[in-house]
């Protein structure tokens, strides 16, 4: 059993992406560090309770890769002159592969905790004041108070539940259970066409499941660049996803091992029967019971922890990072950056503040969607004079060779000084390509800087350069 020190330099409550990053960086900087988390993980008994970084994103990516491979064997492999017969799908083995990947990542993080002598407790933790955390063991019926010079809140978020679709995780699933379905459903409905809904739809649709998505919003992916949204709608519809926008689900009931989903649209009230319903209507911060009332931790009306630009709460020497705050999007890499940033503040290192304007956003679909900076519609609404370069992937030689021609790259620059204001991509490897745009924007590069940078040929990276060249009608393949 862990021998608990009475005093620590830093206590991190939560061991998700942001919490683990913060704990490791604190320890690297010589701080006595304790990490506390009460999470239990049912996917594998090999997982160390609590330490489970970036689980959702990694699960999606692991399953999507399997689904892409299966779909390619069914539909695309013959294009290469390769013929395969008797293709079958073992869903249990596919899920097990995904879980094994998570075990390896989990074990690596646990090894880092040992190497850096980070103490870890699988327990419930509650902030009592700016220096004291109460630890309630999930194994032993005992509580203990621990003192720390600094406390970092990093309890991340959980899926939102809605009254019209009560989750039982057998027929009506949350987004976590949707990654561990035991049998391939024939027909699947998803409530929500945001990031989570689309990522889940991309997996099951490619495994041959009839997939229907509902969303009350009339606009598809309204926060992303509208040209990218339109392209995504077209591509996903062609892939077989049924996107029902402007529809409001009013009830979901399990009847005879099927889910009866009632919804309303402009034509009235309708109902469909599906094998499974996934609720993917967003996430909420895990701030409930995080602090005792007398601690006076300030939360906003949506239960996010209030922080300043340095991730400091209203309590001295108490920080909040990751999905707990409204700073930046709910993304694992955002939280990990905040974890390192806070650790360096505590250690007295003067590091640059996080630039939330250059955090890349990624949707792990096929093709992927990624962007950084501002959208065309937002810039025009502000009255900014801009210039735009667009390059479709169906012209790129590498994309043609790989049969990955769906999508485009869009570069937006300031009309006055050519500074890059935003880059938006839908296409193969978008999550990798966007990093070049992030780096360019961090250094206030211009579209001409990107255009003059020599990219390898043939490659997908050329699309960034070609979109930049298109701003001045200097493209080698097309004219804007």
Q: pLDDT tens-digit profile of 227-286?
A: 999 999 999 999 999 999 999 999 999 999 999 999 999 999 999 999 999 999 989 999
User: pTM (2 decimals)?
Assistant: 0.93
**pLDDT tens digits, 364-373:** 999 999 999 9
**pLDDT tens digits, 117-176:** 999 998 999 999 999 999 997 666 678 899 999 999 999 999 998 999 999 999 999 999
Q: Is it the case that residue 55 has pLDDT exceeding 70?
A: no
Reply yes or no on whether 457 is catalytic: yes
**pLDDT tens digits, 314-367:** 999 999 999 999 999 999 999 999 999 999 999 999 888 999 999 999 999 999
Reduced 3-state DSSP string for the chain: CCCCCCEEEEEEECCCHHHHHHHHHHHHCCCCEEEEECCCCCCCCCCCCCCCCCHHHHHHHHHHHHHHHHHHHHHCHHHHCCCCCCCCCCHHHHHHHHHHHHHHHHHHHHHHHHHCCCEEEEEEEEECCCCEEEEEECCCCCEEEEEEEEEEECCCEEECCCCCCCCCCCCEECCCHHHCCCCCCCEEEEECCCHHHHHHHHHHHHCCCEEEEEECCCCCCCCCCHHHHHHHHHHHHHCCCEEEECCEEEEEEEECCEEEEEEEECCEEEEEEECEEEECCCEEECCCCCECHHHCCCECCCCCECCCCCCECCCCCEEECHHHCCCCCCCHHHHHHHHHHHHHHHCCCCCCCCCHHHCCEEECCCCEEEEEECCHHHHHHCCCCEEEEEEEHHHCHHHHHHCCCCCEEEEEEECCCCEEEEEEEEECCHHHHHHHHHHHHHCCCEHHHHHHCCCCCCCCCHHHHHHHHHCCCCCCCCCC
Share of the chain above pLDDT 70, in %: 94
Share of the chain above pLDDT 90, in %: 86
The band of 5, judged by pLDDT with boundaries at 50, 70 and 90, is low
Mean pLDDT score of the chain: 93
**pLDDT tens digits, 386-441:** 999 999 999 999 999 999 999 999 999 999 999 999 999 999 999 999 999 999 99
Residue 27, pLDDT score: 98
Residue 92, pLDDT score: 97
Q: Which of 75, 92, 270, 457 is catalytic?
A: 457
Give me the domains of the chain, ranges plus CATH numbers: 7-158+284-356 (3.50.50.60), 172-281 (3.50.50.60), 367-470 (3.30.390.30)
């Amino acid at each position: 059993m862990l021998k608990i020190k009475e005093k620590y330099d830093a206590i991190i409550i939560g061991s998700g992406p942001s919490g683990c990053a913060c704990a490791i960086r604190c320890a690297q900087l010589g701080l006595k560090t304790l990490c506390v988390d009460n999470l239990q993980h049912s996917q594998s008994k090999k997982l160390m309770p609590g330490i489970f970084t970036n689980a959702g994103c990694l699960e999606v990516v692991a399953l999507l890769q399997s689904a892409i491979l299966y779909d390619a064997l069914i539909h695309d492999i013959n294009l290469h002159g390769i013929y395969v017969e008797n293709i079958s799908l073992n869903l249990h083995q596919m899920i097990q592969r995904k879980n094994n990947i998570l075990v390896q990542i989990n074990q690596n993080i646990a090894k880092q905790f040992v190497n850096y002598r980070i103490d870890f407790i699988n327990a419930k933790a509650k902030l009592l004041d700016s220096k004291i955390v109460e630890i309630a063991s999930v194994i032993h019926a005992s509580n203990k108070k621990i003192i720390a010079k600094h406390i970092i809140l990093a309890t991340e978020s959980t899926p939102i539940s809605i009254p019209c679709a009560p989750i039982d995780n057998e027929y009506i699933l949350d987004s976590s259970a949707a990654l561990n379905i035991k049998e391939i459903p024939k027909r699947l409905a998803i409530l929500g066409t945001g990031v989570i809904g689309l990522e889940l739809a991309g997996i099951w649709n490619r495994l041959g499941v009839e997939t229907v998505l509902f969303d009350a919003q009339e606009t598809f992916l309204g926060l992303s660049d509208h040209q990218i949204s339109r392209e995504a709608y077209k591509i996903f519809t062609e892939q077989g996803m049924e996107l029902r926008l402007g529809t409001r689900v009013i009830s979901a009931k399990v009847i005879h091992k099927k889910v009866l989903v009632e919804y309303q649209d402009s034509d009235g009230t309708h109902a469909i029967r599906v094998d499974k319903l996934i609720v993917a209507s967003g996430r909420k911060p895990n701030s409930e019971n995080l602090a005792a009332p007398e601690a006076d931790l300030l939360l906003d009306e949506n239960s996010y922890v209030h922080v300043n630009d340095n991730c400091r709460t209203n309590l001295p020497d108490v920080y909040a990072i990751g999905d707990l705050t409204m700073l930046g999007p709910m993304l694992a890499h955002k939280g990990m950056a905040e974890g390192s940033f806070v650790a360096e503040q505590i250690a007295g290192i003067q590091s640059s503040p996080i630039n939330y304007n250059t955090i890349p956003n990624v949707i792990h679909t096929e093709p992927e969607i990624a962007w950084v900076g501002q959208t065309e519609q937002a810039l025009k609404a502000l009255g900014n004079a801009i210039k735009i370069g667009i390059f479709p992937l169906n012209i790129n030689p590498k994309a043609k060779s790989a049969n990955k021609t769906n999508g485009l790259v869009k570069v937006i620059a300031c009309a006055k000084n050519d500074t890059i204001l935003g880059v938006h991509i839908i296409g193969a490897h978008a999550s990798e390509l966007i990093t070049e745009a992030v780096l360019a924007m961090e250094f206030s590069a211009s579209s001409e800087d990107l255009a003059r940078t020599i990219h390898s040929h043939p490659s997908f990276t050329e699309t960034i350069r070609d979109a930049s060249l298109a701003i001045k009608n200097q493209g080698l393949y097309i004219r804007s």
